[in-house]
Amino acid sequence: MIAHCYQDKPKHLRRNHFLQEKLFETFMGQNDEKIKVLIAEDDATCRMALEAILEQWGYDVIIAEDGQKAWQELQEPDMPRVVILDWVMPEMNGLELCEKIRSQTGLPYIYVILLTCRKRKDDVIKALESGADDYILKPFNKEDLKKRIDQAVKRTFTKDGASYRTGGRNKEEVIERYENEMIKAARETALRQFHTNRITELGRLSAGIAHEISNPISYILGNAQNLEIYWQEAEALLLRNIRCQDMKKVDQIREKVRNNLESIQSGVERIVRIINGLKAFASYGKDEHRYCHINRCVQHSLDLCSRTIQYLNIETRLAENLPLVKGDPVQIEQVIINLIANAADAMEKSETRRLTIETASTDDSVTVVVSDTGPGIAEADFSNIWKPFFTTKAVGRGTGLGLATAKKIMESHDGQIDARNRTEGGAEFTIKFPISQCEVAAAGAGIYDRCTP
């Protein structure tokens, strides 16, 4: 059918059908000449996965174990025009190879797809800068791969991609590419903006929702606790009157009921944690500020976290005679608690678990430093840790609101919050409250001591 149409078209339109025809013929087995795709990948498993799938789709797959071999393949007279390059390879990596391909003139255009890892987003930009046409993230999925390959074949073998095939890069092409990238960037910015608006909206909504949910949650929790008490009584009665042949069945039921009760409680506890997080997130900056002792806030926070920190070594170095800080003690404690909880979670798998809290003051500020001996913060995560709903904890563990809330609270106190990795390992969070000169003097004179509870 397609082949038939092709015959009727005037010559200048035929090219549009090149792809369909080529695929059609491949599909019908009429054409021995399949489209060649080169895969350069040092890892045998990934290579085989790519190869198997591409062969299934009817491509002629050529394999190279490293960058150097891939380069040799491209020197052959009938070289593949679509190449998939792994980023990390011995000899010559994907990026270098891509740059080398781009610097070679006088050849038809080669469409380059770089394979890169999901956890390193900056790499994508580097890949495109090196002259790659597209990228695939590992571990790849079949659908995504199909889209990218279809695009590659379309660009390489049809009129759409005419400018690609000429080998040289003309002005229009560069502009078009730039335009596309700009559209993409604008879209991303718009999406981010949209997301931020949604978060603000969410803050407003969540206060209401948290309030509405708290009430029914307390019935669930209360009733679950009652159930547990009644069930214990029922169990005692049951065990007293049990027949021997029912023993096994009854034991199973007891086990299941116990599990279900535990599940209800832990589920409810999780909901409560999330709601508290939302409340704190939504309600920053509302309460009135007064003068408070930072050391007392630290001590109080530690008391509140006693369960979280029972398996940690706690080291506190609290400076004496600290100036008072103007703020809401409950919120300041919330910040410190969030940092403590964060540190405790970070050290969950660490051998040494030491949490250090230090307070200090300079002429114009009071600081609290919370540091841990966990794995530290991944370089790539630094820009994200303050974002709401960003979490590196396992699904269901973190709400992703802890640090976002801490930041908001600190902003409402005209303070700062910073994170860094310590050179000796572990992460360190510093919160800093400003103090004005007159307050220092006043605090020194003990005037504000009365104001603190």
Partner 1 sequence: MYTERTSFLKTDYDEKIFDWADVTTRLGDDDIVIRIVQCFLVDTPGRLEQLSRAVHDKDSKNIETHSHSLKGAAATIGASALAEAAFALESMVTRNDFTEAEAALGQIKEKFEELTALLSRPDWVEVVKRQEEQENSYDNEEPRQESD
Residues at the site binding partner 1, with contacts judged by CB under 8 A = 42-46, 48-49, 52-53, 56, 86, 88, 90, 117, 119, 138-143, 256, 259-260, 262-264, 266-267, 270, 349, 375-376, 378-379, 394-397, 421, 425
Q: Nearer Cβ to partner 1, position 161 or 426?
A: 426
User: For partner 1, which is the closer residue by CB, 131 or 425?
Assistant: 425
Give me the least distance between CB of 438 and partner 1, in Å please.
Answer: 44
For the bound state, the minimum distance from the C-beta of residue 139 to partner 1, rounded and expressed in Å, comes to 4
Cβ proximity to partner 1, 265 vs 276, nearer residue: 265
Maximum Cα–Cα distance for the chain, whole Å?
A: 98
Question: Is 31 exposed, middle or buried, given 0-12, 13-18 or 19+ CB atoms closer than 10 A?
Answer: middle
Instruction: Give the burial string for 401-410 (b: 16+ CB within 10 Å, else e).
Output: bbbbbbbbbb
Task: Please give the backbone phi and psi of residue 67, each rounded to the nearest 5 degrees, phi first.
Answer: -60, -40
In whole angstroms, how close is the CB of 165 to partner 1 at the nearest point? Answer: 31
Closer CB to partner 1, 317 or 397, in the complex: 397
Picking from 427, 335, 431, the residue whose alpha carbon sits closest to that of residue 379 is 427
Closest-CA residue to 152 (of 160, 47, 108): 160
**Alpha-carbon dihedral of residues 192, 195, 199, 204, nearest 10 degrees?**
130
Minimum separation from the CB atom of position 389 to partner 1 (A):
17
* DSSP code of residue 451: G
CB of 173 to partner 1, least distance (A): 32
How far apart CA 340 and CA 357 sit, in angstroms, is 9
Residue at 129: amino acid letter: E
Burial code (b: 16+ CB inside 10 Å, e: under 16) for 232-269 equals eeeeeeeeeeeeeeeeeeeeeeeeeeeeeeeebeeebe
> To the nearest whole angstrom, how small is the minimum distance from the Cβ of residue 283 to partner 1?
27
Output 142 or 147, the one with its CB closest to partner 1. Answer: 142
Cβ 383 to partner 1 shortest distance, Å: 16
